[in-house]
Structure 1
Amino acid sequence: MFSAEMIKGAADGPGVYLMREASGEVLYVGKAVSLRKRLSSYTRIDRAGAGKTAAMLARVARVDTMLTRTEKEALILEAGLIKQHRPRYNVILRDDKNYPSIKVTVNEEWPRLLMTRRVNRDGARYFGPYASPAAMWETIRLLNTLFPLRRCKSKQFRLGQRACLNYQMGRCPAPCIGAITPEQYRERVSRVLTILEGRKRDLIRELEGAMRAAAAALRFEEAAALRDQVRALGQTLEKQVVLSREAADRDVFGFVRREGRVAVALLLIREGALADKREFFLDQPLGDDPEVLAELLRRFYGPAERQIPPSILLPFVPDGVTALAEWLSEKRGGPVRLPVPQRGDKRALVELAGDNAAQALAEQASRHQQEERLAGMIAAALGLVRPPQRLECLDISNLGGREAVGSLISFRVGEKEPARYRRFKIRTKDTPDDYAMMREVLLRHLGRSREEGTLPDLLLLDGGKGQLGVAQAVAGELGLAEDHPALASIAKDRGGTGERIFIPGRKNPLNLPAHSPVLLLFMRLRDEAHRYGITFHRKLRGQQQLLSDLDRIPGIGPARKEALFKALGSLAGVNAATPAQLAAVPGVGPELAAAIHAHFHPPGSS
């Protein structure tokens, strides 16, 4: 437990502190202008009413400190340590992995335009993430229409190759056949980047100038094409909601805290128009509002590919605002202001962002209440001691026992938790024995969950009383508590038109109405587990189908397979070859030749 003894001798200067538990795991990383004052403030926290902060302090076994020369250095060091340790009590923004981004592969000789959900440090330019996938696809369609780039994955073009169908349809400039010069292609890429950076008006002015020049030079076809591009860009600008009379780029933050929960809304304004909106939810974040806002700004603008506007409007002054402004300016390569407007249009923008944050928090609270009611209904229907919060469902998928897999999905009441999804390749059974397969997967999953302390509140099995019995037996073997996890199974009735729910200690299935929210949720869990398993199962079967018979022979690798095909022409030639012919192939030899021949001509075959 955190105590004043841990911080004796803390320096009165800027730096970073790491709170660790007994195992050495980092619980929290923080920065301070004065380490002594900041750490001393934790000794004055009311442990009874501090919620998440008290829970963390109860686990702290030691505190490490690192001095820096300036507050800005402390901020940069803190960001690096958080990225390295990913402490559970720091603000970690997780929205980016759920939303798609647009990627322009400027690191390639002939860049492409792609959709991606993963941002890598590969030299490409990333834009987003887009809270609305529909808006992202609309942007991609616009760019593919106005300034299409190549769509093929080829890293290098071959001499004499033919252009693909996209070129014939006007959807690709075909650099592969030299239909566009490198200079023209780079200009096209530049225009794509200009649009993605939100500078459509700049591009319109550039295109209008080019259009007038083409018309003056009597290049009327080129001028008409430029006119159409200007019109299309103008139409997209008309669709955007204009929030500012200034055609400026700025981000606007709204911040609301209620009953320990924080909601933040971010309005991304480009050229005075609303380009996108983001929402973040923090459950009992550590620190007061200025500290939380400062940490959120550091987390959001930390990634190297993040676009930073010259002005970021805030509802109040964040902690360490001077160091933050210096850090952001350095990352942007130009000055960044962090004003807190008090009147006028800018103040109205901050209030609008605050209204969005309040609405988002209210909607989340409503969803939370609905989830709590559903959890209570599950507990009542199954006779559980407490409402379950985390639910898992396990399904076994196989084709005649071959390529059998177990698929496990996880829900937080009614919401998916994809990060907790798991797939299991069955190791011990090649025959269609569902009970043995279920037992193997349950032993592996529940055993590991027990060690890691991640057991679900309710485990649902796809199957009937037999599968439920297997789960009960495994729980007993592992010494799990009778009600943790609670167990249930779901199966189609004999007519195949309804569903039956089985629970331990009850001979007959539960009689749940067809419209019961509990039954509908269980069906959703079962269907999601089935979908997840079938997807993996198909992938495994596809991989097996891609293997030739030679890949299944021990001792045959890519080099020997290539040598066999080169010497004998094909798989049919290998099949028809005699042991002597096989042994004559470089790298094979008599012993391996005999194994290959025996594989294709097993004893008893004609």
Structure 2
Amino acid sequence: MPPFDFKEFLPTVPLQPGVYLMKSRAGEVLYVGKARELRKRLSSYGRIDQTQHGKTAMLLSQVRLIETIVTNTEKEALILESSLIKQHRPKYNVILRDDKSYPLLKVTVQEQWPRLVMTRRRVKDGARYFGPFSSPSAMWETIRYLNSLFPLRRCKEKSLKPKSRPCLNHQMGRCLAPCADKVSREEYRELVNNVLLVLEGKNQQLVKELSRKMALAAEALRFEEAAQLRDRINSLNKTLEKQQVVAAHTRDQDVLGFARQDASVAVALLFIRKGVITGQQSFFLAEPVGTDPEVLTEVLSRFYGEEGRYLPQEILLPFAGTDDPLLAEWLSEEKGTTVTIACPQRGDRVRLLEMAATNAQQVLVARKTRQTSWQALAEGVQKALGLARLPERIECLDISNLGGQQAVGSLVCFVAGEMAKHRYRHYGIHTVAGPDDYAMMGEVLRRRFAKGLAENDLPDLLLVDGGKGQLGVALQALADAGIAGTLELAGIAKEKAGEGEKLYRPGRKNPLLLNNHSPVLLYLMRIRDEAHRYGITLHRKLRAKESLTSSLEQIPGVGKGRRELLLRELGSMHRLARASVAEIAAVPGIGSALAAQIWHALHAEDGSALVGEGGEE
């Protein structure tokens, strides 16, 4: 088909603010943009030579339809653009994917008895979120530190039901046991407020308040309480000594660093709270569409448009974006107070920008180092296995079952040497009865190849967990799909009797035996082990759930109606197995005698719940 005809299209476009959607021949949304004047913005695309190289030229070569949506104001266009990008996730827009999913700390202040928990998603649930933490180990250290100072409850229930006896955490001094009425609501809320002060970076304010209370406790001869406060103050002072103050003010700032290398861009965000760096997050954009100011503006829109994102008082930029005043107005409305976007030219804020720029540059350096390392490893895999092309994307399939029961097919994916968890898949087994691993693998592979053909989405190399037999099943599945010889296959068999791990390839009688310390072998083993871990996790959960369900069914007086009632009231099998006798008895229609019977039936002789084996990943 000929390229999109801008000359014919432009006279139909109004000179008003709005949003435009560029679509492919198949109707896929390739790019979403917004403009103060739609016709003027779209006319700029008509002047680009589509025969040239570059991301914008590549985009335009695929465009066959452009739809426009007129809005009343440019701000409405900005908000609509953000919404449409979230909905369609166009491949040519800036989608901020990080190498990691950074964890957050969440204080559930909306609950009657708040908790401190780790999460990876911000949602508008009334809780307070802190982070993201670029280092998970630093985050867990923070949790342990706060739990030692301020022992909030650690149970997972959103609402506590009264208990006659507190859990083991209370006996170990790790929880104040609000469930057993061992602490007043006022005292507990005070601990929650202290946790919030620490996470907000207000340690000095907290130290002053605790010092005042320690003096009062000592004057009233409450020496045990005073000693406890003294220990908390000493711990907080040690933390203050480690914190690096980078600003003399107490404002919350986000500082953005921007670095470009050829077509690639790296962005680093430093989070400064009360003058102290509390975290950072970085993104790598392979080939973003647009000029640097346009890319910068799109990054800001995507990052701060995420639901539940914390908005600071000030955002510092290395240079002006295309819509800074508009973004500041939008973010101020979202926050409820003024959010300033500034590009400082002198003073302490420039030093912060230099620090952020160094972090962004480091992202590019690390990326290049990783790409160089991966290139060498990929060439090693290609040479060792005799592949026709570099295995940029490798998938591995593993079958987990116990005597044919709770059978699960697990497929993991690695791209450029790294886990691509959004491509992981679990497969239930529908057509195979009994312990037949070959048949199970054949079923899963036929489904995988059928979907891959329909979506043009197949890996460069498919690895199967096993030897000649499993490899033969994969070859037959390829033939059944009509794509024999188009996909590289390999099998990896676990070490037996000290023979070493064996690699099998189609058309080769004997296995490949690589050195035990070969980077190629270690990489393929890592992929195989990840597939096994991913499969066995679900398999254990299914097995535990069946064990628990079976135990429930064998209890006299617990029919289908009461089983459904228990699950509805307590939420899940796992929660039921962890419930106390009092919690089970609180379910309408159960009663204390039946609750005790249920509790004893659901626990093994050693006192551990049946569900414990697979309750957590």
The TM-score range, normalised by the shorter chain, is: 0.7 to 0.9
The structure-2 alpha-carbon separation of the partners of 1:64 and 1:551, relative to structure 1 and needing over 3 Å to count, comes to farther
More deviation in 47-56 or 14-23?
47-56
Report the equivalent of 1:150: 153
Aligned to 1:525: 527
- Cα 1:9–1:386 change in 2 (3 A) is same
Deviations 1:409-428 (A, max 9, x none): 11113211111111222222
Q: Residues 78-108 of structure 1: CA distance to partner in whole angstroms, max 9, x if unpaired?
A: 1222222222222222339712211111221
Match of 1:498 among 490, 497, 500: 500
**Corresponding residue pairs, total:** 566
**What is the distance in 2 between the residues matched to 1:400 and 1:176?**
43
Do residues 371 (structure 1) and 374 (structure 2) align?
Answer: yes
**Aligned position for 1:406:** 409
Distance 2:71 2:143 in 1: 45
Quote the residue 1:583 is aligned against. Answer: none
- Three-state SS of the structure 1 residue aligned to 2:62 is coil
Deviation at 1:387, TM superposition (A): 1.0
In structure 1, how many angstroms separate the alpha carbons of the residues matched to 2:317 and 2:563?
Answer: 64
Q: 1:284 to 1:431 in 2, by over 3 A?
A: same
Match of 1:600 in 2: none
Q: Map residues 41-120 of structure 1 onto 2, 5 A cutoff.
A: 41-95=44-98, 98-120=101-123
> What corresponds to 1:559 in structure 2?
561
Contact 2:265 2:287 in 1 (8 A): yes
Query: Aligned pair 1:547/2:549, yes or no?
Result: yes
Contact 1:27 1:88 in 2 (8 A): yes
Q: Which residue does 2:434 correspond to in 1? A: 431
Tell me the secondary structure at the aligned position of residue 306 of structure 2.
coil
Matched position secondary structure for 1:518? helix
Question: Given the alignment of the two structures, is residue 121 of structure 1 paired with residue 129 of structure 2, yes or no?
Answer: no
Residue 104 of structure 1 contacts residue 112 of structure 1 at CA under 8 Å; is this kept in 2? yes
Query: Equivalent residue for 2:272?
Result: 269
CA 1:200–1:75 in structure 2 vs 1: closer, same or farther (change >3 Å)?
farther
Cα distance in 2 between the residues matched to 1:149 and 1:124: 15
Structure 1, gaps ≥5 residues long: 574-606
Report deviation, 1:209. 3.9
Aligned pair in 2 of structure 1 residues 85, 493: CA closer, same or farther (>3 Å)?
closer
How far 1:368 sits from its partner (Å)? 0.7
Q: Measured at CA, do residues 219 and 81 of structure 1 come closer, stay the same or move farther in structure 2, by a change above 3 Å?
A: same
1:227 to 200, 208, 230: 230
Alignment of 1:200-349 (within 5 A): 200-215=203-218, 220-349=223-352
Q: Supply the AA of the counterpart residue of 2:538.
A: F
Residues 165 and 180 of structure 2 are in contact (CA less than 8 Å); yes or no, is this contact kept in structure 1?
yes
Contact 1:97 1:117 in 2 (8 A): no
- The sequence identity of aligned pairs, in percent, is 56
Give 1:261 shift: 0.9
Q: Deviations over 1:370-394 (max 9, x none)?
A: 1122222222222222212100111
Q: Does residue 183 of the first structure (1) align with residue 186 of the second (2)?
A: yes
Q: CA RMSD in A?
A: 2.8
Q: 1:193 to 1:49 in 2, by over 3 A?
A: farther
Equivalence for 1:597 = none
Q: Which of the numbers 471, 475, 478 marks the counterpart of 2:478?
A: 475
1:390 matched residue in structure 2: 393
Amino acid at match of 1:321: D
Structure 1 residue matching 2:400: 3-state secondary structure: strand
8 Å CA contact 1:208, 1:230 repeated in 2: yes
State the Cα distance separating 1:201 from its structure 2 match: 2.8
Match of 1:514 in 2: 516
Output the CA distance in 1 between the equivalents of 2:140 and 2:562: 46
After TM superposition, the structure 1 stretch with the greater mean CA deviation from structure 2, 81-90 or 217-226, is 217-226
Once the two structures are superposed, residues 95-140 of structure 1 have per-residue CA deviations (whole angstroms, 9 ceiling, x without a partner) of 3971221111122111111112233332222222211112211221
C-alpha distance in 1 between matches for 2:156 and 2:167: 12
- Paired with 1:480 and 1:186, the residues of 2 have a C-alpha distance of 64
- Which residue does the alignment assign to 2:575? none
Q: Which residue of 2 aligns with 1:487?
A: 489
SS at 1:407's partner residue?
strand
Taking the TM superposition and a 5 Å limit, the aligned residue runs for 1:594-605 are none
Q: 1:465 aligns with which of 465, 468, 480?
A: 468
Whole-angstrom distance in 2 between the partners of 1:211 and 1:493: 63
1:155–1:508 CA distance, 2 compared to 1 (3 A): closer
Q: Is the 8 A contact 2:500 2:513 kept in 1?
A: no
Q: How does 1:14-33 map to 2 (within 5 A)?
A: 14-33=17-36
Whose radius of gyration is greater, 1 or 2? 1
